A and B are shown apart, each in its own frame.
Chain A
Amino acid sequence: MTEIARDQTVTQAESPAATGRDLRAPFGLALLALACIAPLFLGNYPLHAIIIALIFLLPAHGLNLLLGYTGLLSLAQAAFFGIGAYTSALLAVHFGTPFYLNFLAAGLVTGAVALPLGIPALRLRATSFVMCTLGFVIIGQAIAKNWISLTRGDMGLAAIPKPYFALGPASFTVSGTVGFYYLVLAIAVLATLAVYLIVRSPAGRNMIAIRENETLAESVGIPTWHYKLVVFMISAAFAGLGGSLYAHYLTVVSPLTFQMYYSTTMLIIVLGGGAGTISGVIFGSLLFVGLTEALRVAPELRMIAYGFFLLGLVFWFPNGFAPLISRCSSFLEKRK
């Protein structure tokens, strides 16, 4: 870690929300408190929507580390999401292992799978890298469809047990929307904390240095190749954890878990909220829920509106919607 990189990264890391800095911690705590009491005033359906958003938050955090902090655009999140979902589902169905084991295994397996995939892919320039990561999704879907003895092909795996915890003789099962909501919320908070610790550490600053100027970062002694590979694995592991939750929540997995749609969704959450900020990604996942709920008219119309939303995002809010809100709040503060 050298002075040049540190100077550059400190300004980068703090500039986006520098004005609203003092408000961030209390605002975050208020949001968390609100999230904790949400089941008191929200019905099952809105809770379901928020659960989906919190599950997607995990792969989105991973993509944010990769795209927002290290500057690598990847479409592979859907592939790792699917691998995590299948790992968890296969363990649960064949061995009946408790939830926390499946969950951790999903993260470890996807992280491990990302290593051999990342080594060739990360050698490529930007555009070829994007294509290669898209290839992982297509090939993953083909494997899920055709390795019928393991994955049951297009039928998918059904009757995945609801998460249950077993420690010695005691065991309990998370059933019902409210229980699952608290489980997912706890995991999402822990994941957010983990990402916060990563980006606040010297490693996080090195990642930003790689994003800003890879050649310069390399020349001041940051091992950029190792950083990129490790971040790729971490981001894959986050996607795998999300996939595991998704499998246990929906209790089915099918080759449709490997879809471009999921990769697009992760991109929307990260870029819509603001890449390179943690609060942005949290905002992005809530935005995504709001969007899908608002567009629940007809499937075709919904996808058309989704398309127009993407265009609007690119052309009018290239930094995402979160900076817009922090600009509004700082504007209001100045008027006081």
Chain B
Amino acid sequence: MFYTIIEQVVNGIVSGSVYAIVAVGMTMIFGVLRAINFAHGEYYMLGTFGAWFAIEYFDLPYPVAVVIGVVATSVIAVVVGNVVMQRIVGAPAEAGVLATLGVALILQNTIILVFGGSYKFFSGGYIEPVTLFGFTLAEQRILIIIVGLIVFVGLELMVTYSRMGKAMRAVSQNIECCAVVGIDVRHIALWTFILGAGLAALSGVLTAPVNVSVYGGMGELITFKTLPIIIMGGLGNVRGTFVAAMILGVAESLVATYVGLQFRDTVGFATLMLVLMWRPHGLFSAQARF
């Protein structure tokens, strides 16, 4: 009994790490662009497909495939960022929603058009089980937790110390003032977007060996899981997002075991509504900003 609970919590932390890497990109994009990115799960899907393509067609080893997946997604993000995302800085909320929904439809259906809509087997990654403190865990899951921690420490350092990170924080606080003091807001927006999309791709490639199969429509579910996380974490708040992602990951894992697997995907929005009734500004912000 106790053993199962611990096991489910560990599984929850693994999926929480995955959500955290995806959601932190989205929340940073929101901070800078003030737009909810409905296409965010699509970059997760693109990263996975990039790696799957590299393994399946060129027989490359998994670590190389990870790099290819992330780089390919970043290249697409450069195009989308230049053509679409830069233009919604300062636009009304509807514009952001419609434009990113449009991007999601285009990316998702282009992949389905090119590769077909069926499920594809992802062969790669480190699936050997390891026993640690009496628990058996696949290597890949340990890798996910480690990469999650590295990403968050790295982001925290970048946002605090680097010039780009400071500019991102500044833009997320006040766009007009940044423009007045000479920060190139569109440039910052573009780079934040590319960073966010790249992180989503990284998370996709890391999870693919655990999920085993990849398909064109897989991004939508990730988008719907990420949205409650970034709201609960307080929009634009990096640390809050990490905690909210972990809470959601563990909650989903426990609900799937003790309530029923079919309810797993609603945990996010149900929790979100409960949290918002109690704290309308998310868990980790002093006051409502958005």
Interface residues of A (CB under 8 A from B): 67, 73, 75, 120-121, 123-128, 130-132, 134-135, 138-139, 142, 145-146, 260, 264, 267-268, 271, 275, 300-301, 303-304, 306-311, 313-315, 318
When chains A and B are docked, how far (Å) is the Cα of A33 from the Cα of B288?
Answer: 51
Q: Are A125 and B288 closer than 8 Å at their CB atoms?
A: yes
Q: Which residues of A contact B72 (CB under 8 A)?
A: none
Sort A-B residue pairs by CB-CB distance and give the 6 closest, nearest first: A310-B102, A307-B105, A135-B269, A307-B106, A303-B109, A300-B113
The main secondary structure of chain A at its interface with chain B is helix
CB closest chain-B residue, reference A318: B95
The main secondary structure of chain B at its interface with chain A is helix
Q: Are B94 and A307 closer than 8 Å at their CB atoms?
A: no
Q: Are B276 and A128 closer than 8 Å at their CB atoms?
A: yes
Is residue B112 contacting chain A, with contact meaning CB distance below 8 A?
Answer: yes
Checking B30, B105, B224, B288 against A310 with a beta-carbon cut-off of 8 angstroms, the contacting residue is B105
Q: Which residues of B contact A307 (CB under 8 A)?
A: 101-106, 109
Most B CB within 10 A of own CB, among A123, A130, A275, A309: A130
Q: A128-B288, A146-B263 are in contact. Are A264 and B94 (CB under 8 A)?
A: no
Is residue B131 contacting chain A, with contact meaning CB distance below 8 A?
Answer: no
Checking A132, A134, A304 against B276 with a beta-carbon cut-off of 8 angstroms, the contacting residue is A132
Checking A73, A260, A304, A315 against B93 with a beta-carbon cut-off of 8 angstroms, the contacting residue is A73
When chains A and B are docked, how far (Å) is the Cα of A134 from the Cα of B263?
Answer: 17
Q: Which residues of A contact B224 (CB under 8 A)?
A: 134, 138
Checking A124, A267, A304 against B110 with a beta-carbon cut-off of 8 angstroms, the contacting residue is A304
Whole-angstrom distance from the CB of B285 to the nearest CB of chain A? Answer: 11
Q: Which residues of B contact A139 (CB under 8 A)?
A: 266, 269-270
Q: A127-B235, A128-B231, A131-B227 are in contact. Are A311 and B102 (CB under 8 A)?
A: yes
CB closest chain-B residue, reference A142: B266
Q: Which residues of B contact A315 (CB under 8 A)?
A: 87, 99
Q: Are A134 and B227 closer than 8 Å at their CB atoms?
A: yes
Is residue B97 contacting chain A, with contact meaning CB distance below 8 A?
Answer: yes
Q: Are A73 and B97 closer than 8 Å at their CB atoms?
A: yes
Is residue B254 contacting chain A, with contact meaning CB distance below 8 A?
Answer: no
Is residue B280 contacting chain A, with contact meaning CB distance below 8 A?
Answer: yes
Q: Are B265 and A138 closer than 8 Å at their CB atoms?
A: yes
Q: Which residues of A contact B220 (CB under 8 A)?
A: 260
Q: List 29 A-B contacts (CB under 8 A).
A: A121-B276, A123-B280, A124-B280, A126-B290, A127-B235, A132-B273, A132-B276, A135-B270, A135-B272, A138-B265, A142-B262, A142-B263, A142-B265, A145-B262, A146-B260, A260-B220, A264-B101, A268-B98, A303-B108, A306-B102, A307-B102, A307-B104, A307-B105, A307-B106, A308-B106, A311-B99, A311-B102, A311-B106, A315-B99
When chains A and B are docked, how far (Å) is the Cα of A210 from the Cα of B120?
Answer: 51
When chains A and B are docked, how far (Å) is the Cα of A123 from the Cα of B110?
Answer: 39
Q: Are A125 and B289 closer than 8 Å at their CB atoms?
A: yes
CB closest chain-B residue, reference A67: B94
Q: Which residues of A contact B137 (CB under 8 A)?
A: none
Q: Are B280 and A304 closer than 8 Å at their CB atoms?
A: no
Whole-angstrom distance from the CB of A287 to the nearest CB of chain B? Answer: 14
When chains A and B are docked, how far (Å) is the Cα of A310 from the Cα of B107?
Answer: 13
Q: Are B98 and A125 closer than 8 Å at their CB atoms?
A: no
Q: A135-B273, A146-B262 are in contact. Are A310 and B98 (CB under 8 A)?
A: yes
Is residue B171 contacting chain A, with contact meaning CB distance below 8 A?
Answer: no
Q: Which residues of B contact A313 (CB under 8 A)?
A: 98
Q: Which residues of B contact A124 (CB under 8 A)?
A: 276, 280, 288
When chains A and B are docked, how far (Å) is the Cα of A318 from the Cα of B91?
Answer: 10
When chains A and B are docked, how far (Å) is the Cα of A268 from the Cα of B265?
Answer: 27
When chains A and B are docked, how far (Å) is the Cα of A264 from the Cα of B289?
Answer: 26
Q: Are A308 and B95 closer than 8 Å at their CB atoms?
A: no
CB closest chain-A residue, reference B116: A300
- Contacting residues of chain B (215-231) with chain A, CB-CB under 8 angstroms: 220, 224, 227-228, 231
Q: Which residues of B contact A275 (CB under 8 A)?
A: 94
Whole-angstrom distance from the CB of B96 to the nearest CB of chain A? Answer: 8
Whole-angstrom distance from the CB of B245 to the nearest CB of chain A? Answer: 15
Q: Which residues of A contact B208 (CB under 8 A)?
A: none
Q: Which residues of B contact A301 (CB under 8 A)?
A: 109, 113
CB closest chain-B residue, reference A264: B101
Checking B30, B109, B227, B265 against A304 with a beta-carbon cut-off of 8 angstroms, the contacting residue is B109
Whole-angstrom distance from the CB of A15 to the nearest CB of chain B? Answer: 18
Q: Which residues of A contact B105 (CB under 8 A)?
A: 303-304, 306-307, 310
Q: Are B280 and A314 closer than 8 Å at their CB atoms?
A: no
Q: Are B266 and A267 closer than 8 Å at their CB atoms?
A: no
Is residue B84 contacting chain A, with contact meaning CB distance below 8 A?
Answer: yes
Contacts A267-B94, A307-B105, A310-B102 known; 8 new A-B pairs at CB < 8 A: A124-B288, A127-B36, A128-B288, A128-B290, A300-B117, A301-B113, A308-B106, A309-B102
Q: Are A314 and B102 closer than 8 Å at their CB atoms?
A: yes
Q: Which residues of B contact A123 (CB under 8 A)?
A: 276, 280
Q: Which residues of B contact A314 (CB under 8 A)?
A: 88, 91, 95, 98-99, 102
Q: Which residues of A contact B181 (CB under 8 A)?
A: none
Q: Which residues of B contact A306 (CB under 8 A)?
A: 102, 105
Q: Are B93 and A130 closer than 8 Å at their CB atoms?
A: yes
Whole-angstrom distance from the CB of B258 to the nearest CB of chain A? Answer: 15
